[in-house]
Structures are given as C-alpha cells and as structure tokens.
Amino acid sequence: MQRDSLIQHFGKPGYFVLRGKVQHFDEDFFELGMTTYLDVVTKAVPIKPDGTFSEQFEVSNTQDIYLYLPGSRTIILSVCENDTLTLNWDQHALLESLSIHSEDPVRNTQLQVQREIYQKHRVALIELRNELHENKDTYTPAEKYERINGRYNAVLETVLDHADSGKADLDRILLAQYYNFTNLLIDQQLYPTFRLRAVLDTVPDYAVFKLDDPFPWYDESHFIHIPDFRDFYMATTSKANPYMGTKTINGGSEQVNFPITWYHRVRASQGSNIMQDWLMAQELTRYLRQTPFDYIKDAYTLFIEECKTPFFKSETEQLYARMQNIYPGREAPPFTLKNEAGQAVSLADFKGKVVYIDFWGVYCAPCMYDIQHYVPKVHEYYKDKDVVFVNICVDVGEAQWKAALKQQELHGVNLIAEGWSRHPVCQAYNVHAIPQYILINRDGTIANNNPQRPGQLTARLGNNQIDEALAK
C-alpha cells in the first residue's frame, strides 16, 4: 500500500520560498533555473523598487536551483519542499556580500557548505574542464583520472571540514559531489574503468564511502533526492543500451534509430518502475521537442499504455499536446513584441517571407557563440533574399538587452520577451532552453521546429533548410 501511494503521488509538488534583498541592482527581476524530474525550467524573481523580493515556487522533493546572478556567475543550491531561503547581496560587491540562509539548522548547514564549494572550487572546476578539453588528445586516461580525482578530493576536504555539523547535513552533499564527478569521468570516457577514490587518513561514517562496487545505480532514494544521480543513471543506462547510433553503408555513415528496442531494454534493466518510467519519459520528452512524431510514435504509444507512474504519463502527454502547436505544417503561433525602438512588431508583418527565429539570451554562452561566429555570415548571405531573421531575447531586461545588441552588433529584427518561461510567446513556442530556433514558411506555417543552427546553416549555404523553405 505504501509503495502504491508513492507511485500514485510521485511528482506532486510542494513549495519553497525565495526571499531577500539586493542593493544597487539595475533590473526589476533576476532569474533562476531549477531542475525538475524532466527538465531544467527557468523562473523569474520580481524585485520591488526597494530591492526586496519574495516569491513562492513549486518543487517536488529535492531539486537543484541555479541562481543566475549578474556577471555570468551561477551558484548551485539544493531546495526542498517547505524551504524558506533568504538571499541577500550588493551588486557592487557580489561575492563579498552574498549571503544565503535558512532558519532550519540542517538546511542552513547544507547551504553554507554549497556556498563554500562555489567560492573555493568554481574557478578550479572551470579550469579543469578547459584543461581536459585542450589536452583531450595528449593526456593519457590515467592523467585525466588523476586530475579529476584530485579535484574531487579537494571538494571532499571542503565538505568534511563541516563534519562536526551533523551526519544528516552532509550525506546528500557528499553523494551529489560523488555523482557529479563520476559524471565527469563518464564525459571523459573513463568510467567504469576508473572510479573515484577518496584519499583520506580515516574514512568517515558517511553513505558515500559505503557505496557497493559495482555502483548501486538502481537506488531509488538517490534518484528521488539527488539530481546528479539522475544524470548518472541516464548516462550509464544510455551507454549500456544505446538506441541511437550510426552504421556504415557503402563507405558512408547513416543514422539508425532504435526507440522500441531502447524501450524494451529499459523495461528489462535494473531500477524501480518509477526510475524506468523516468528514463522513458526523459527521452521521449527530448525527442518530442526535436524530431518528427513518427520517429517515436510506437515507443510513445507503448509508454502511454504501460507507464506505471501517473506523473510521468501526464507530463509526457501534456508535452505532446503542446508540441502539436508547433509541428511542421501548423500555423505558427502569432505574436507581437517590441523592438529596440519601442515599436510593436508582429509575426504577421513578415507574411510572404521565410522567417528564421532565434530565441536567445545575453547570459547564454552557446547563444553568444553562434551570434559571434556564425550569425553574421548567415545574415550576409541572405541579405538580398526573402528571409527575415528575428532575434528574440528572453533572459534579461530592456537595459541589458539593448547594451548587448550594441556590443554584439546583432542585425535583423531584434525583439524582447522579458520573463522567459512566464512570457506568452515563450510558452506558445515551448521555449524551455536556449538557443532555440524556429523556421517559418512564406505562408506562415511552421517549416521546422528544430531547424539547423547557424553553424550548420553556414556549412551549407545555398543548400540548407532556409534554402529549402525559399524554394517552396
């Protein structure tokens, strides 16, 4: 009965509150990202004229939030149902003034440790990833492992400095860091040959140091409460049972798809019904956004029939319904937004032309890379053709948006949809992550809801998806 109740009520949200005050801040909101069981969603936190803010958000069990603070700084914290977190900072001295607090002693200890990890190791972790990338062909596997395991032990030291605070306070953080660094081993194709090893004089009594070998990757409690474990579970299962791949045909490579095969392998794998349902819902969610429905139709139908967890079934069905609105051939959702001159611009203004929409953000590194390296070439090539490039910024307020336009010299039709996930245009086009691109035909119908990105367009100028739309 208890098990049935867990499955039936899984995913039903509670709430947490984020409140506090910011000084010398020019915008009237800031944003945070938050893990859910199927996505990372973006939420806006409105700021009052006096700098105070207080906002309530839904959260299911334990999740991570990403505080997107100005200056491209992102702090990762855990949040739980019934949390009330107080966040204060002065924008003129962000790192020195930033404080995070909870009235609950256990939660407060966890938050202080997470803040200390950020302060002591954020730069080193960025440098480690850059070093591994730059030396991917020169470092041996053992050299890569030593660098990753060394940084893991440095983080362990930081966490264990707080060991006197209480066992329950640190267990989750230690497990999260273990899975986080193991995911880095997976990224470097080192796992499972290489596994993290704690270099300690004495082994403390924490769960992370008692993990069985092989890994207990079917542990449902870790799945429910540790987002980094979910990434690990997905990575190891996908690696063991790939359903996407290539095969060589007549000297060339052709993509082959195995969604039904994947489905049956997931059902035969270790892990509870909730975990297996999550694996399928996660992948179906990704591919509902990126591929034609026919590609996954059989797996989707079977999943809806056999899914044991109502939450994952409902979420997948709802996404399918939303994606119907922007599937190729459907009328593109209409919108009217303001440009940098404050004038109203409507999608209908461009009827008769091919429209390429770029949902982008000032603090989105992939967005800025495309804008700096590929977008100018694409715009130049199509400047005398019936193509309109519409750039919709979603992640900042008007002042920062205009400054970025000037700095990047971004041409085309520049519009703003402040509030991202709250904005009706982002909701209509299902913009959950950026950059996101949409290609619209001359007649106002969707040509492609996941078209080639600027880099791909540049590689095939004259023979890409924009050219195909122009030829219709």
- In this structure, is residue 350 part of a structural domain? yes
Which residues are CB-contacts of 262 (< 8 A; sequence separation ≥ 6)?
A: 241, 242, 243, 283, 299
- In this structure, is residue 214 part of a structural domain? no
Mean pLDDT, residues 228-254: 62
Q: What is the domain-level CATH number for residue 41?
A: 2.60.40
Among 308, 321, 233, 426, which Cα is nearest to 11's? 308
- In this structure, is residue 342 part of a structural domain? yes
Look up residue 122 and give its two tokens: 């954020």
Tell me which H or E stretch contains 245: strand 244-249
Provide the pLDDT confidence category of residue 44 given band limits of 50, 70 and 90. confident
Task: Give the per-residue pLDDT at 253.
Answer: 46
Please, what's the b/e burial string for 117-145 (b: 16 or more CB within 10 A of its CB; e: otherwise)?
bbeebeeebeebeeebeeeeeebeeeebb
Task: Give the per-residue pLDDT at 242.
Answer: 40
- In this structure, is residue 409 part of a structural domain? yes
Task: Give the per-residue pLDDT at 162.
Answer: 87
Of 302, 324, 346, which residue is a domain's last?
324
298 and 341, same domain (yes or no)? no
Half-sphere exposure of 398 (CA within 13 A, CB side): 7
Q: What is the domain-level CATH number for residue 434?
A: 3.40.30.10
Mean pLDDT, residues 204-226: 76
Rounded to an integer, what distance in angstroms lies between the CA atom of residue 97 and that of residue 90?
Answer: 6
Mean pLDDT, residues 317-340: 90
Average pLDDT over all residues of the chain: 87
Strands 99-102 and 244-249: unpaired
The residue ranking higher by pLDDT, 254 or 236, is 236
Task: Give the per-residue pLDDT at 72.
Answer: 55
Choose from 135-139, 235-239, 265-269 the range with maximum mean pLDDT: 135-139
Residue 209 has pLDDT above 50, yes or no: yes
Mean pLDDT, residues 455-467: 93
Task: Give the per-residue pLDDT at 215.
Answer: 53
Mean pLDDT, residues 21-46: 85
- In this structure, is residue 388 part of a structural domain? yes
pLDDT tens per residue, range 349-361: 999 999 999 999 9
3-state secondary structure of 339: strand
Mean pLDDT, residues 277-300: 84
Other CB atoms within 10 Å distance of the CB of residue 22 = 22
317 and 353, same domain (yes or no)? no
Rounded to an integer, what distance in angstroms lies between the CA atom of residue 255 and that of residue 287?
Answer: 15
310 and 374, same domain (yes or no)? no
Mean pLDDT, residues 265-293: 85
Residue 346 has pLDDT above 60, yes or no: yes
Of 295, 324, 353, which residue is a domain's last?
324
Tell me which H or E stretch contains 229: helix 227-240
Task: Give the per-residue pLDDT at 5.
Answer: 84
Tell me which H or E stretch contains 278: helix 273-290
Provide the pLDDT confidence category of residue 255 given band limits of 50, 70 and 90. very low
383 and 340, same domain (yes or no)? yes
Mean pLDDT, residues 201-225: 76
353 and 415, same domain (yes or no)? yes
Among 126, 34, 120, 142, which Cα is nearest to 78's? 34
* Tokens 């209480």 belong to residue: 166
Among 439, 438, 436, 429, which Cα is nearest to 472's? 439
- In this structure, is residue 211 part of a structural domain? no
Which of 109-118, 347-356, 357-366 has the lowest average pLDDT?
A: 357-366
Supply the range of the domain harboring residue 268.
241-324
Which residues are CB-contacts of 304 (< 8 A; sequence separation ≥ 6)?
A: 313, 316, 317
Rounded to an integer, what distance in angstroms lies between the CA atom of residue 166 and that of residue 152?
Answer: 21
* Tokens 């989105």 belong to residue: 364
How many domains, in total, are found in the chain?
3
Task: Give the per-residue pLDDT at 293.
Answer: 75
Task: Give the per-residue pLDDT at 285.
Answer: 87
Other CB atoms within 10 Å distance of the CB of residue 74 = 14
340 and 320, same domain (yes or no)? no
Tell me which H or E stretch contains 426: helix 424-428
Task: Give the per-residue pLDDT at 339.
Answer: 95
- In this structure, is residue 178 part of a structural domain? no
DSSP single-letter state for residue 334: P
Tell me which H or E stretch contains 68: strand 62-69
352 and 445, same domain (yes or no)? yes
% of residues, the chain, pLDDT over 70: 92
Residue 442 has pLDDT above 90, yes or no: yes
Provide the pLDDT confidence category of residue 247 given band limits of 50, 70 and 90. very low
The residue ranking higher by pLDDT, 166 or 26, is 26
379 and 276, same domain (yes or no)? no
- Is 208 exposed, middle or buried (CB count within 10 Å of its CB: 0-12, 13-18, 19+)? buried
The residue ranking higher by pLDDT, 396 or 336, is 336
Which residues are CB-contacts of 408 (< 8 A; sequence separation ≥ 6)?
A: 368, 371, 372
Task: Give the per-residue pLDDT at 250.
Answer: 45
DSSP single-letter state for residue 331: B
Provide the pLDDT confidence category of residue 241 given band limits of 50, 70 and 90. very low
261 and 343, same domain (yes or no)? no
Which of 54-63, 64-73, 332-341 has the lowest average pLDDT?
A: 64-73
383 and 452, same domain (yes or no)? yes
Of 324, 355, 384, which residue is a domain's last?
324
301 and 399, same domain (yes or no)? no
Which residues are CB-contacts of 255 (< 8 A; sequence separation ≥ 6)?
A: 244, 245, 246
pTM for this one? 0.78
Which of 71-75, 148-152, 375-379, 399-403 has the lowest average pLDDT?
A: 71-75
- In this structure, is residue 351 part of a structural domain? yes
348 and 461, same domain (yes or no)? yes
- What residues are paired with 414 via a beta bridge? 391
* Complete DSSP assignment for 88-145: EEEGGGHHHH-EEEESSHHHHHHHHHHHHHHHHHHHHHHHHHHHHHHTTTTS-HHHHH
